[in-house]
């Protein structure tokens, strides 16, 4: 193991953070997971990582953990993630997502830790006319959650004044699960399209699936998103960290596939792959949802040598396998 590189992953017990932790360990990094377990789960943390239960708003605790473990870098994934909840609880979101990031940056500054990767989001772009969104598209966040990501990115950029090298990774729609079945998505409550569809396909009930709005300015009227496999995202973090170690700078990259899928197309793909029928009902638009978010991933391809490898089918298959493993639903039909 490479003892010179110890990386703290905040939110490392969560969906994306646990995949990143696996990928770091695979690449010879030591990992300290810092997570308050408010939504993350202990069982998702890989055995090879150290774990400390803590909250990123607690600067003193962060400082102790960074110091004791001689951390050299931080990957910051901890945060609240529900767009709709953020509309109803903007102050809570600000405290966790912006104030928490500020506390973490102060703790790092105090201990001269100057490599930082941030879990940002394509939500910072908000409603845009652009078919493919590049990093220099205007930022027009349409929810408190998205504003938090923009504000945190700004704080991180400002920290370059004291020497912080940072990369903010703007995820498009993370989905799927670890192909080896070690970790996956288990948000409570779940609000995301693919895991909700998979749950419905695994355990059908009489309630039709809600499609939030079919009057958007898209081909079939439903929202379009760029779904990227969570293991592809995890790989991008390791590449970004290694790139930052080689070339310190303050930068931002989109992580997406460059291909959009409408809600209707995703539903049809889940039906085709699982063989389960899913009835749908159109409900009003969900507040804060932009019509279309599709990445132009060119910068990450060129500068990080990163490309999303998994297809939408790979994403859905891995999510299906993970969900069945969680609840031991009988696999009436194998999908290959
Ligand atoms: N969506 C939907 N029904 C659901 C959950 C989500 O129609 O039960 C839609 C949602 O309005 C958005 C898209 O699916 O247009 C993707 O939503 P998700 O929450 O997965 O990701 P987001 O883009 O909001 O981060």
Tell me, in angstroms, the distance from the centre of ligand 1 to residue 303's CA: 30
- Per DSSP, the three-state class of 279 is coil
Q: 34-48, 165-179, 200-214: which range is least confident on average?
A: 200-214
pTM tops 0.75: yes
Q: Does the bond joining 189 to the residue before it have cis omega, within 30 degrees of 0?
A: yes
10 Å CB burial of residue 301 (0-12, 13-18, 19+) is middle
Q: Which residues are catalytic?
A: 145
Is pLDDT larger for residue 31 or for residue 335?
31
What domains are defined for the chain? 6-175+228-255 (3.40.50.720), 193-225+258-327 (3.90.25.10)
Residue whose CB lies within 8 A of the most ligand 1 atoms, among 225, 260, 270, 287, for a mutation test: 225
Place of tokens 């951390």: 71
Secondary structure percentages of the chain, helix, strand, coil, to 5? 40, 20, 40
Is pLDDT larger for residue 298 or for residue 84?
298
Q: What is the DSSP string of 309-335?
A: ---HHHHHHHHHHHHHHHHT---SS--
Contact in structure between 12 and 73 (CB atoms under 8 Å): no
Rounded to a whole number, what is the distance in angstroms from the first to the last CA of the chain? 35
Could you tell me which residues come within 8 angstroms of residue 291 by beta carbon, excluding any fewer than 6 positions away? Answer: 127, 216, 217, 218, 223, 224
Nearest Cα neighbor of 189 from 261, 54, 84 is 84
pLDDT tens sequence across 171-195:
999 999 999 999 999 888 889 999 9
pLDDT tens sequence across 71-97:
999 999 999 999 889 999 999 999 999
């Amino acid at each position: 193991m490479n003892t010179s590189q110890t990386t703290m992953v905040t939110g490392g017990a969560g969906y994306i953070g646990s995949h990143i932790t696996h990928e770091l360990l695979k690449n010879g990094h030591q990992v300290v997971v810092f997570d308050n377990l408010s939504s993350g789960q202990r069982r998702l943390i890989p055995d090879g990582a150290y774990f400390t239960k803590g909250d990123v708003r607690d600067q003193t605790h962060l400082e102790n953990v960074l110091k004791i473990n001689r951390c050299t870098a931080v990957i910051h994934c901890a945060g609240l993630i529900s767009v709709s909840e953020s509309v109803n609880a903007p102050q809570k979101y600000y405290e966790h997502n912006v104030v928490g990031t500020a506390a973490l940056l102060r703790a790092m500054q105090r201990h001269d830790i100057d490599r930082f990767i941030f879990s940002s989001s394509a939500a910072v772009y908000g409603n845009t006319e652009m078919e493919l969104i590049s990093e220099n598209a205007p930022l027009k966040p349409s929810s408190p959650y998205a504003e938090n990501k923009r504000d945190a990115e700004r704080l991180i950029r400002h920290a370059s004044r004291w020497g912080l090298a940072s990369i903010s990774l703007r995820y498009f729609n993370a989905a799927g699960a670890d192909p080896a079945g070690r970790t996956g998505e288990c948000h409570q409550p779940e609000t995301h399209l693919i895991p909700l569809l998979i749950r419905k396909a695994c355990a059908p009930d009489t309630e039709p699936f809600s499609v939030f709005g079919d009057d958007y300015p898209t081909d079939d009227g439903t929202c379009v998103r760029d779904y990227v496999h969570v293991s592809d995202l995890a790989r991008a973090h390791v590449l970004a960290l290694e790139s930052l170690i080689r070339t310190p700078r303050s930068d931002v990259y989109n992580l997406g596939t460059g291909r959009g899928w409408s809600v209707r197309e995703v539903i049809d793909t889940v039906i085709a792959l699982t063989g389960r029928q899913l009835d749908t009902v159109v409900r009003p638009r969900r507040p804060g949802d932009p019509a279309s978010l599709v990445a132009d991933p060119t910068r990450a391809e060129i500068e990080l040598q990163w490309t999303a490898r998994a297809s939408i089918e790979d994403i859905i298959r891995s999510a299906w396998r993970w969900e069945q493993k969680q609840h031991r639903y009988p696999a009436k039909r194998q999908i290959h």
